[in-house]
Amino acid sequence: MAGVDDRLVDEIYEAALVPERWPSVLDEVARISESWAGGIIALDPDQRPRGIWTETYAPTYESFARGESSRYENVRAQRALARRHQGFLRDIDLCSLEELQVDPLYRHFLHPYGLGWTVGTFVNVPTMDLVIFDFARKADDGPHNRSHVSVLDGYRPHLARAAFLSARLGLERARSMTAAMDALGVPAAVFGGSGKIMAANSDWEALWPRVERTFRKVELDGLPNRIVGRSSAPAGRVRSIPIAGTASEAPLIIHVLPVCRSALDVFSGASQIVVITPVRTPAAPPVEIISGLFDLSPAEARIARALAEGRTIDGCATDFRVSTETVRKQVRSIMSKTGTNRQVDLVRLLLGASPPPAARNP
């Protein structure tokens, strides 16, 4: 997978809390993937869309919004969702050239504006929103190639986490710290550099004791230290960590996100935002969620899903035509990223059925 630019990663997390920064972020991601335009669409559980896009994509999206969009069947989206692929997919990965030439969405909304090729990804988030990233190339430039997809996949985990916050904020800027906490609609708190809580919403109060019990520590520092230890990514970057479910409690995922750049205008003096999201199934499949949150590669996501479905390591090697040692390496990587020590714990985590360690080992 291609390397990432830390500056652009910071800009992505800035856009998470200052959504008017998304167009410039999308412009930059479009540039490095040699695309002409980019957009982000968030759908809530009622399928109500909200979106932000680059100026180069505005004519297409605005034309689509003016038309009777409900009568257009998006075959590419249906096929992409069916694949459950944890990465970007090109239109030519999903449709034949003949299908694309007659696709009404291409003919009526892309071709009239000189666009002809797209690449995109779907991001399921634990609150049951669906976020779509879409990048397009000019018709004369030809389709995206594999290197373009690799670049996009490198930024996908950051885009996914940032889009989750933006989706909860309604893709609009919160004008105060309190307004932001209330608008998120999920348990969230703002921490200062000293590890003290600066602001939190009411939902936070109900879940924080459970998190505190799990980690046996009140200080925020306990979370990033544990999370950094489970990833090879640079320290201080956004992290996610699971808290397993019980018979009566839903699994939780904790997100620790940095506050940087112009987001400090709203969150003055803050260093991190910690968000707790319950994993609700089956509307938000656990494997898809955990794959995105824990930076699993498409190959790792495929193995994780197979294990969750009951297949063995040997069975995965046979089915995916790779060596058993390759599968074992991928499983070790998955366990490192998800903070599990045994394969059975990994499977339970993916299925959202594992009790917390304290319950297993009183």
Distance of CA 56 to the CA centre of its chain: 24
Residues 313 and 189 in one domain: yes
Q: Which of 348, 302, 275 is nearest to 127 (CA)?
A: 275
pLDDT per residue over 139-174, tens digit each? 999 999 999 999 999 898 888 878 877 776 666 666
Q: What's the domain count of the chain? A: 2
pLDDT per residue over 240-294, tens digit each? 676 766 677 777 777 777 777 666 666 667 777 888 877 665 444 566 666 666 7
CA distance linking residue 159 with residue 213, whole number of Å: 31
Is residue 1 included in any domain, yes or no? no
Residues 140 and 181 in one domain: no
CA distance linking residue 70 with residue 65, whole number of Å: 10
Is residue 298 included in any domain, yes or no? yes
Ranking 26-30, 65-69, 97-101, 119-123 by mean pLDDT, the lowest is: 65-69
Domain limits for position 271: 177-360
Residues 131 and 280 in one domain: no
pTM of the complete model = 0.66
CATH code of the domain covering residue 257: 1.10.10.10
Residues 279 and 329 in one domain: yes
Domain final residue, candidates 168, 192, 224: 168
Residues 255 and 337 in one domain: yes
Residues 84 and 63 in one domain: yes
Residues 154 and 274 in one domain: no
CATH code of the domain covering residue 144: 3.30.450.80
Domain final residue, candidates 148, 168, 188: 168
Burial of 26 (C-beta count, 10 Å sphere; 0-12/13-18/19+): buried
